[in-house]
Structure 1
Amino acid sequence: MSLLPLEDPSDGHAVPAREPSPAEGPRGPVRLPRPPLLARSAGPARHGLVLLPLLLITAWAVTDSRSLRDNAARIPAADPWWLLSAVVCTCLGWVAAACVRQGAVVERLPPGPLLASQFAAGTANHLLPASIGAHAVTLRFLQRQGVPLARASASIALYSLVKPVAKTAVLVVFLVLFPGMLRLRELLPGGQALFLTVAGAAIAPATAAVLFAAVRPLRRRLLAFLRTALHDARTLHTRPARVLALWGGAAATPVLQASVIASAGAALGLGLSWAQVVFAFLVASTATGAVPAPGGIGPVDAALVLTLSAAYGTPVALGTATVVAYRVLTVWVPLVPGALVLSAMVHRRML
């Protein structure tokens, strides 16, 4: 680009005009904007997120080191082949969880990263109550895969709805197939316990209905969310592959979890059949499903020991040892590898 020469007023000679530099405008230097604070701090923040799972696992292991030693000491005395069966069922549980997650989303997700995300979500699930950690990891993974936030949240809601429905269906199937083997009468609650159970089950929907009627902004957002969720649910149920992954994976998940308990019990000499242990786990997990404990640890364990003792006469010490072995295989053994996978996925910006 050629510019006309300018006259120098001092001597009358023409001076070629200077082109403005990239940092200057037509009226002088331009001050370039500084990068935002969030962008400048993204590096240290991401490094902190990478190390956070390992720090949480270390803190948990330090505070509960005695339980960790006691639990680990029970494993070497068990039958190794039954323990191997329990490990296989544990791994298949992550596959089933990945199938359910895929079945709740219209988009096709990459199988490898999806399975890794569910393995990492298992670690997060044991650190936060009510499956918050697992849902947060999955929600972030879906967003990284290009799923909009509203539709990713709708898939989480569909996942949370399908799981208890499928577990109830599996429980009914066991009641039909094994009516004589499963002792249901000993597990039925008394009058006061039944009243408290029914009252507790009614509080949550009643509270949600009051909030829905009273808070108008919440009502608008909830209606928009429900429209998105219903549209995605209808679309998913027109695809047989998604239906199979969603409902088949949700039905297989509790059966695989109970199979881990049955294998651990067989390794320790529990003496119960697979159907009895599966039924005991379904009853215990259904009865305590609303208790917001991290990974179900605590309420489900106590309810399972009580169910094994009340329904089948299992000694409390043996039932406790079986539940402890189950928790070692499903919580403590995958905890550190899951934290490493979670940190690696954060580092690679997959979460």
Structure 2
Amino acid sequence: MSLLPLDDPASPPPPQPPQPVEDGRRRPRAAGATRRALCLFPVLLLAVWAAVDWHAVRDGTALLAAADPWWLLTGLLFSYLGSVAAACVRQGAIPDRLPPGTLVASQIAAGAANHILPASIGAHAVTVRFLRRQGVPLPRATASIALYSLVRAVAKTPVVLIFLLAAPGAVPPARLLPEGRTLLMAAAGLLLAPAVGAALFAAVRPLRRPVLDFVRTALTDARHLHTRPARFLPLWGGAVAAPLIQASVVASVGTALGLPLTWTQLLFAFLAASTAAGAVPAPGGIGPVDAALVLTLAGYGTPLPLATATVIGYRLLTVWLPLLPGMLVLSALVQREQL
């Protein structure tokens, strides 16, 4: 009985299984191509939007050509200061410590995304993505979005009340009340939203546990945040400052154009218009707020051409001029995997 050799040097080596090196290389290449596509997508949206709304850009530039450039620059600074206020509220709404510089950059990018999707969906989506990249669990990230929205809505009430008490003659309270379809939409939203939510919670069983986890996390974080001055001070301070900063953009543009109104009237004109049109979901509030602001300024005695020019200038300083830098910041954050 002969034994066969275990190794035969003359025989060819057995075939080796394919190595996963090529797959490993293809995956980073595919991920890089996807990331580059995501970087270019915001810029493409910007180009499409500019082509659709080119008349507003052209007319606004022509109307503002004779305005005071220093006041317009002041309005632009107020516009960017709004991102800092939003970053303060975002940090105050979450227990985790976030990097300040990247947080402000994410809010600049979120402001650009906010002008694409209605009802702040774009800004919240960018923020949730940023928080997830920072290691924040999804329930806590979504709970911070809910707290951010609630605080921003609640904090506007004392601001309006202060204006009413400080200058009751200059800020008639009747201007705060929405009219017609806006009032009907607001009432329908207040009544239908809780009913729809309760119906979904009762009918769809898979939603119950995530909803309960979300509510539990939101209540726990809100209670914990309000025991820490380093959180609730920027939370409420930024929420109070945000509408005043936005109104200051309108006041700066009105001053640059020489509107016959005081700063108090200009500030309250924006507060009243944004309150009246807040029930209509639109990208960045564009449309309802503009119409309400023109009517409010005209109600104060401003000539209609000047009121229209003020609104166009406000949109140029808060949408068009910051939009390209915001989209570039958004693309850069995606490229650096911060989003």
What pairs up with 1:62-141 in 2 under 5 angstroms?
62-141=51-130
Cα RMSD, aligned residues only: 2.6
Q: Is the 8 A contact 2:139 2:214 kept in 1?
A: yes
Distance 1:143 1:151 in 2: 10
Picking from 251, 266, 272, the partner of 2:261 is: 272
Distance 1:94 1:152 in 2: 19
What pairs up with 1:50-61 in 2 under 5 angstroms?
50-61=39-50
What pairs up with 1:213-224 in 2 under 5 angstroms?
213-224=202-213
Q: Is the 8 A contact 1:187 1:307 kept in 2?
A: no
- Structure 1 residue runs of 5 or longer lacking an equivalent are 1-6
Matched to 1:221, the amino acid is P
Superposition deviation, residue 9 in structure 1: 3.4
Matched to 1:114, the amino acid is L
Distance 2:168 2:56 in 1: 38
With over 3 angstroms needed to count, the CA separation of the structure-2 counterparts of 1:80 and 1:9, relative to structure 1, is closer
- Give the stretch that moved more between structures: 208-217 or 321-330: 208-217
The answer to whether 1:329 aligns with 2:324 is: no
- Give the stretch that moved more between structures: 177-186 or 167-176: 177-186
Instruction: Report what 2:301 is aligned to.
Output: 313
Distance 2:249 2:175 in 1: 24
Distance 2:58 2:87 in 1: 31
Instruction: Report what 1:343 is aligned to.
Output: 331
Q: Is the 8 A contact 1:99 1:245 kept in 2?
A: yes
Q: Is the 8 A contact 1:182 1:279 kept in 2?
A: yes
Give percent identity, aligned residues only. 62
Q: Is the 8 A contact 2:139 2:213 kept in 1?
A: no
Matched to 1:268, the amino acid is L
1:122-168 alpha-carbon deviations (Å, 9 max, x no partner) = 11111111111111111111111111111111111111111111112
1:221-279 alpha-carbon deviations (Å, 9 max, x no partner) = 21111001111111111110111111100110000000000110011111211221222
Distance 1:123 1:194 in 2: 28
Matched to 1:9, the amino acid is L
The two structures have a TM-score, normalised by structure 2, of: 0.90
Matched to 1:277, the amino acid is L
Superposition deviation, residue 186 in structure 1: 5.5
With over 3 angstroms needed to count, the CA separation of the structure-2 counterparts of 1:53 and 1:188, relative to structure 1, is closer
With over 3 angstroms needed to count, the CA separation of the structure-2 counterparts of 1:182 and 1:207, relative to structure 1, is same
Instruction: Report what 2:198 is aligned to.
Output: 209
Picking from 218, 237, 262, the partner of 1:248 is: 237
With over 3 angstroms needed to count, the CA separation of the structure-2 counterparts of 1:29 and 1:118, relative to structure 1, is same
Q: Secondary structure at the match of 1:76?
A: coil
Distance 2:43 2:182 in 1: 41
Q: Is the 8 A contact 1:123 1:335 kept in 2?
A: yes
With over 3 angstroms needed to count, the CA separation of the structure-2 counterparts of 1:195 and 1:334, relative to structure 1, is closer
The two structures have a TM-score, normalised by structure 1, of: 0.87
Instruction: Report what 1:4 is aligned to.
Output: none
Matched to 2:302, the amino acid is T
1:187-225 alpha-carbon deviations (Å, 9 max, x no partner) = 546799756643443222232232233333223221111
With over 3 angstroms needed to count, the CA separation of the structure-2 counterparts of 1:15 and 1:84, relative to structure 1, is closer
1:26-50 alpha-carbon deviations (Å, 9 max, x no partner) = xx84555574887663221111001
- Give the stretch that moved more between structures: 75-84 or 223-232: 75-84
How many residue pairs match? The answer is 333
Matched to 2:194, the amino acid is P
Matched to 1:175, the amino acid is L
* Greater Cα radius of gyration, structure 1 or 2: 1
1:2-55 alpha-carbon deviations (Å, 9 max, x no partner) = xxxxx9637xxx9699xxx9xx9xxx8455557488766322111100111111
Instruction: Report what 1:9 is aligned to.
Output: 4
Distance 1:110 1:140 in 2: 15
Superposition deviation, residue 63 in structure 1: 1.9
Matched to 2:196, the amino acid is T
Matched to 2:232, the amino acid is V
Superposition deviation, residue 349 in structure 1: 0.8
Q: Is the 8 A contact 2:120 2:284 kept in 1?
A: yes
The answer to whether 1:182 aligns with 2:175 is: no
Q: Secondary structure at the match of 1:157?
A: helix
Superposition deviation, residue 299 in structure 1: 0.5
